[in-house]
Amino acid sequence: MPTRWDEPITEELNKVEEEIRRSVVSRESLLTRISLHVISSGGKRLRPGVVLLAHKAVGGSDISKIVDMAAAFELIHSATLIHDDINDGGRTRRGRESAYRQFGVQKALVTGDFLFVKGFQLGGPQDRRVVNYLADACTKMAESEILQWQYANDPDTSIESYLKIIEGKTARPIEAGAKVGALLGGGSSRQIDDLGRYGLNLGLAFQITDDILDIVGSEATLGKPKGMDFLDGTPTLPLILAMDDGTKGKRISTLFKKKRKNHNDLEEALLLLSKSDALDSARKYALEFSKKARGCLRSVPQSVYKDSLQALAKAVVHRDS
Amino acid sequence: MPTRWDEPITEELNKVEEEIRRSVVSRESLLTRISLHVISSGGKRLRPGVVLLAHKAVGGSDISKIVDMAAAFELIHSATLIHDDINDGGRTRRGRESAYRQFGVQKALVTGDFLFVKGFQLGGPQDRRVVNYLADACTKMAESEILQWQYANDPDTSIESYLKIIEGKTARPIEAGAKVGALLGGGSSRQIDDLGRYGLNLGLAFQITDDILDIVGSEATLGKPKGMDFLDGTPTLPLILAMDDGTKGKRISTLFKKKRKNHNDLEEALLLLSKSDALDSARKYALEFSKKARGCLRSVPQSVYKDSLQALAKAVVHRDS
């Protein structure tokens, strides 16, 4: 992401990184190796960034506790990445072979569990509200995985259903991170709510942009082949919008409905899609959520951290990877 | 298990049951259904039982908190059962088709994650020591899964390695449950340590007995086919002892080493094993750990709960399922 939204929290993010690496040390070195395979593959650290910024934006200064929480969110995110790849047959992730492909399903599955435990160990011994924010977000992630499969290869998936899925999958955990950051920073109820809504809208903008990049991105910067959502039968916003677009849309629907899609299907669908307004319309949705996110920060006083939250909301939609 | 070890905590165990069922309610009814498939299949509730008894044995009376913790241990145990079955290809569990066979790997995997989260949600908002006991035990479970695969089909697995594996897999979580129960019950450091050692030895006795039952048990009472450990290449104590026993042992080793074992191999191995002293020797180990467990309770004052802990240590070795 181009904007240096993380400038004012560089030091804290380094501490989060140390904490994560410290957490995954195990007497079974393979667990550490598989964990680091995922963790050190250069994720965006969006989730810990939001936790830290929300904390600082409300005047929080309990760095040690908030670094633990930020690490907890990233560890749990890494756990879900490993399990998702097993479930979706994802072959590459951030330019690397996915964990289960490199180390086998069994070991990847157990490493995911290990990372879950490490995340909850860091995030656990806290206020009941904190644990509930974290756990409720994880519950929604699991629920939205189940929901997503109900719409696999379904060209009639509504935008509403799509938004419900990405809300659970991506936006709720970011919302929870923002709320936890604000709560532990001593924010008012109003600030906690507002930062939560910021996180929710940020997450939606982020995921819609991800889904657009799956179509228009370059494989080199994405770190994975493009068109995976189409091939997997995952109905993303640009696909849903394109399938709703006249004769071209009908044809994309027909291709999308196929349970086994091949690369010719993908090429044809991408070509038709590039001639439709779907990508532009999807971008408008992303921009709208980004704007909404920025509009949620009124109760947060001016500071470099608030500036960063604003910059982040722009950065998630203006990026090429 | 024949002895009614759970008599003095019947009411609390019912509350644990309610709490577990309440926890797995989800807006995605499939998650609830798969969770209940595992939870309602009649497990022994050994883990929550130990948490409750340890609590009460040291004079604890915070029923609501300890019921939550007991439910947490059982939820996490259920999560690992689902993931273990995926990893080991376990076809039946407690007389039912295993979750991944009935609902598919993807949905079972996510349900396991869901149960982990629910367990940590109940066990989370506590004293840091409590969270660490719980999480450290989960870490050891993951580590021992990895360790176990290193010894798959290996007839030279030592008794020491076997004990290390079952310690992590079964005994540490029970140890953690006992310590958490005692800690939250206001037990002294001595009592917490002693009940922890009780749980550890109880777990070893329990798992060795399980491994014996895998060979001598009846399929009807076990709820799964027998000889699964042999077929899976899991070196259990009776197998290790039998393989160390002269010419018969050599032959069992040869069969055990095969990566794909068939039912003739199993029949032959079981016949040879039944003629060796391995089962009797393995039983002696189990009895020894059971005795050790009972010997750990000196710092615990006399009560019906202490009686139950003693009865439980006997019951885990004297059972046919």
In the predicted model, is pLDDT for residue A52 greater than 80?
yes
Query: Among B114, B87, B121, which Cα is nearest to B31's?
Result: B114
Asked whether the predicted pLDDT for residue A204 surpasses 60, the reply is yes
Interface test with A, best of B113, B128, B149 (most A CBs within 10 A): B113
Of B28, B80, B109, the CB nearest to A87: B109
For chain A, the domains span: 7-315
For residues B211 and B282, the answer to whether their CB atoms sit within 8 Å is yes
Q: What is the ipTM of this complex?
A: 0.94
CATH architecture of B7-315: Orthogonal Bundle (1.10)
Residue A84 near residue A90 (C-beta atoms within 8 A)? yes
| % of chain B beyond a pLDDT of 90 | 83
Query: What local confidence, expressed as pLDDT, does residue B2 receive?
Result: 44
Start-to-end Cα distance in chain B: 7
Query: Of A192, A169, A202, whose CA–CA distance to A311 is shortest?
Result: A202
Strand residues in chain B grouped as ranges (E):
92-93, 96-97
Say yes or no to pLDDT of B10 above 70: yes
Distance from CA of B29 to the nearest CA of A (A): 9
- On the question of pLDDT at A281 being above 50, the answer is yes
DSSP B117-142: HHHHHHHSSS-HHHHHHHHHHHHHHH
Mean pLDDT of the A8-18 span: 95
Say yes or no to pLDDT of B193 above 90.
yes
Integer Cα distance of B146 and B151 in angstroms: 10
Half-sphere exposure of B60 (CA within 13 A, CB side): 32
pLDDT interval class at A2 (50, 70, 90):
very low
Q: Cβ–Cβ of A135/B113 closer than 8 Å?
A: no
Residue A221 has pLDDT above 80, yes or no: no
Whether residues A149 and B106 touch (CB distance < 8 A) is answered with yes
Judge whether B166 and A141 are in contact, CB under 8 Å: no
Instruction: Give the residue, A92 or A294, on which the prediction is more confident.
Output: A294
Q: Does residue B1 register a pLDDT over 60?
A: no
Query: Using 50, 70 and 90 to split pLDDT, how confident is the model at B43?
Result: confident
pLDDT for res A161: 97
**Burial letters A296-315, b for 16+ CB under 10 A, else e:** bbeebeeeebbebbbbbbbb
In sequence order, the 6+-apart residues with CB closer than 8 A to the CB of B71 are B16, B19, B20, B23, B48, B119, B122
Apex B172 CA angle, A113 and B296, nearest 5: 165
Nearest residue to B165 (alpha-carbon basis) of B196, B132, B142: B142
Percent of chain A with pLDDT over 70: 98
Determine, for residues A107 and B147 on separate chains, whether the beta-carbon distance falls below 8 Å: no
B110 to chain A, closest Cα gap in Å: 6
Structure confidence at residue A108 as a pLDDT band (50, 70, 90): very high
Lowest mean pLDDT among A304-313, B92-101, B181-190: B92-101
Nearest to B119 by CA among B238, B57, B35, B186: B35
Question: Most A CBs within 10 Å: which of B32, B121, B148, B183, as the mutation test of the A interface?
Answer: B121
Contacts of A69 (CB under 8 A, 6+ apart): A51, A122, A123, A126, A130, A177, A180, A181, A184
The pLDDT value given to residue B295: 97
Structure confidence at residue A126 (pLDDT): 77
First to last CA, chain A: 7
User: Mean pLDDT highest for which of A58-67, B42-51, B81-90?
Assistant: A58-67
Question: Smallest Cβ distance to A126: which of B125, B132, B145?
Answer: B125
* HEC assignment per residue over A113-152: HHHHHHHHHHHCCCCHHHHHHHHHHHHHHHHHHHHHHHCC
pLDDT of residue B119: 96
φ, ψ dihedrals at A180, nearest 5°: -65, -45
Average of per-residue pLDDT across B71-81 = 96
Confidence at residue A42, expressed as pLDDT on a 0 to 100 scale:
72
Name the pTM for this structure: 0.94
Q: What mean pLDDT is predicted for residues B205-228? A: 86
Residues B66-69: contacts with CB under 8 Å, at least 24 apart: B66/B12, B66/B181, B66/B184, B66/B185, B67/B12, B67/B15, B67/B16, B67/B19, B68/B19, B68/B122, B68/B123, B69/B122, B69/B123, B69/B126, B69/B130, B69/B177, B69/B180, B69/B181, B69/B184
How far is B117 from B36, CA to CA, in rounded Å?
15
The stretch B215-229 carries a mean pLDDT of 80
pLDDT averaged over chain B? 93
Buried b / exposed e over B47-78, threshold 16 CB at 10 Å, is bbbbbbbbbbbbebeeeebbbbbbbbbbbbbb
Name the pLDDT band for B124 (thresholds 50, 70, 90): confident
Confidence of residue B288 (pLDDT cuts 50, 70, 90): very high
Q: Are A82 and A112 in contact (CB under 8 A)?
A: yes
Question: B225: left (phi > 0), else alpha (psi -120 to 50), else beta?
Answer: beta
Looking at chain B, which residue has its C-alpha nearest residue A127? B125
Strand pairing of A96-97 and A92-93?
antiparallel
A47 pLDDT exceeds 90?
yes
pLDDT at A3 > cutoff 70: no
Interchain CB distance below 8 Å, B87 and A80: no
Q: How far apart are CA A204 and CA B178, in angstroms?
A: 44
Residue pointed to by tokens 């934006």: A57
pLDDT at B245: 84
Q: Residues A155, A128: contact at Cβ < 8 Å?
A: no
Instruction: Give the whole-angstrom CA distance, residue B304 versus residue B7.
Output: 9
How confident is the model at residue A278, as a pLDDT? 95
Q: Tell me: the pLDDT tens digits for A115-137?
A: 999 999 999 877 889 999 999 99
Q: Residue B3: pLDDT band by 50, 70, 90 thresholds?
A: low
Higher pLDDT, A127 or A63: A63
